[in-house]
Chains A and B, each alone.
Chain A
Amino acid sequence: MNKQSSRIGASGLLLTETLIAVLFFSVASAICLQLFVKAHTVTNRTEALELSVSQGSSVVSLLEHMPADSMGSVSDPGDTAQLLQIACDAVKAVYPHAAMTDDRVLICFDKNGEHCPVSDQNSAYHIAVTCDEKENRHTDGHAYLLYHVSVMNLEKKAAEDSLLQTYTAAVCRPYAKEASAHE
């Protein structure tokens, strides 16, 4: 009788030990899997950030380069539509598919970072150029304009996840002289 109960006790101990081992390894594998998924997500985000840095800074560079003759046609630094149209024309030198919507200029890219039309269903990223007329100044014969450049990942639904980078392009150009010449 004693022998039998001791054998049952040993089997129970072995079962418990096995269960604990299985549980431990299950938890470990779940953690490992999570880490792999996280690593994959971080890699994707890094690629997106690389695109946003190179293309975002390129757009800023183009905006800051805007030639004086195009800025000379500005009749009112508070006219957002006119300023955006000028910005759209400036970036079109490098991004021919850039398009102007009501309140922004949009430049779209596919998953591989190739520039594509705004209407393209495969757009994965876009760069939005906006301009707030309240931030623009017109003093001392110069127009001081601020353009905001936002790089968005269109594959992310949440707003805080989709915004990759924001830049500000400060443009200062002779203004009154050109405006008076037009007058």
Chain B
Amino acid sequence: MTTQTHSYNRIHKQKQHVINLVFPIALFFVFAVSALLVLLLAANLYHKNTETVLQDDDRYAVLSYLSEKVIQNDVDGGITITTRDGIDCLTITSHYNETDYVTYIYEYEGMLKELFTNADADISLSSGSNITACYGLQMEEHAPGVFTFTAADRGGYTSTLTAAERSTP
């Protein structure tokens, strides 16, 4: 009887000991995996947000620049869209010291470029100054002085902005 009791106590004690050890370890692993998941989710969210900000910058930098140029040069309806070497250009005509000048703003080889030149000069569009990276730009003139610009970002998303001259009518 005494031997049986001793044996029961030993087994019981051993079982309790194993549970005491296994449970906290299991709990620790659950928490560790949860913490890792939260970390991965947060990193993914941060990455996505940063990517979105960069993509927004790609589009809105181009659109804001074009819009500001239309507002800035809104004189005598001197803004049009012309095609030069097969590329659509926002064309701003100006007159200084009895000479006509023209400013072309266009997308060329992944860059938004600006070229200020004499109206009669035959100059290549590759000579323009780089403004900012541009992943696609479309221009449309709906009516005289009403321009719609569509800019794309590195992810292929597009945004549209309409700018209109007030000096046209």
Decide whether A and B are members of one complex: yes
Chain A residues at the B interface, C-beta cutoff of 8 Å: 11, 14, 18, 21-22, 25, 29, 32, 36, 39, 43, 46, 50, 54-55, 57-59, 61-62, 64-69, 93-94, 113
Q: Check A32 against B159 for contact (C-beta < 8 Å).
A: no
Which residue of A14, A21, A43, A68 contacts B20 across the interface (Cβ within 8 Å)? Answer: A14
Given contacts A29-B38, A50-B56, 14 further A-B contacts (CB under 8 A): A14-B24, A22-B27, A25-B31, A39-B45, A54-B160, A58-B162, A62-B146, A62-B162, A64-B164, A65-B169, A94-B142, A94-B146, A94-B148, A113-B159
In the bound complex, what is the Cα–Cα distance between A21 and B16 (angstroms)?
21
Which residue of A29, A43, A61 contacts B164 across the interface (Cβ within 8 Å)? Answer: A61
In the bound complex, what is the Cα–Cα distance between A32 and B41 (angstroms)?
10
Most buried by A among B60, B159, B162: B162
Q: Nearest chain B CB to A8's CB is how many angstroms away? A: 11
Q: Check B24 against A94 for contact (C-beta < 8 Å).
A: no
Asked if A67 meets B24 with Cβ closer than 8 Å, knowing A39-B45, A61-B163, A94-B142, the reply is no
A-B contact pairs, 7 of them (CB 8 A): A14-B20, A25-B31, A39-B45, A59-B162, A65-B166, A65-B168, A66-B169
Asked if A54 meets B166 with Cβ closer than 8 Å, knowing A43-B49, A93-B142, the reply is no
Q: Check A57 against B161 for contact (C-beta < 8 Å).
A: yes
Q: Check B38 against A61 for contact (C-beta < 8 Å).
A: no
Q: Check A25 against B34 for contact (C-beta < 8 Å).
A: yes
Q: Chain A interface mostly helix, strand, loop or mixed?
A: helix
Chain B residues at the A interface, C-beta cutoff of 8 Å: 16, 20, 23-24, 27, 31, 34, 38, 41, 45, 49, 52, 56, 60, 63, 67, 142-143, 145-146, 148, 159-166, 168-169
Which residue of B20, B38, B63, B165 contacts A32 across the interface (Cβ within 8 Å)? Answer: B38
In the bound complex, what is the Cα–Cα distance between A54 and B56 (angstroms)?
12
In the bound complex, what is the Cα–Cα distance between A55 and B31 (angstroms)?
47
Q: Which residues of A contact B169 (CB under 8 A)?
A: 65-69
In the bound complex, what is the Cα–Cα distance between A64 and B31 (angstroms)?
60
Q: Check B45 against A65 for contact (C-beta < 8 Å).
A: no
Most buried by B among A50, A66, A94: A94
Q: Which residues of A contact B63 (CB under 8 A)?
A: 54
Q: Check A21 against B27 for contact (C-beta < 8 Å).
A: yes
Q: Check B161 against A58 for contact (C-beta < 8 Å).
A: yes
Most buried by A among B27, B63, B142, B164: B164
In the bound complex, what is the Cα–Cα distance between A46 and B56 (angstroms)?
11
Q: Which residues of B contact A55 (CB under 8 A)?
A: 160
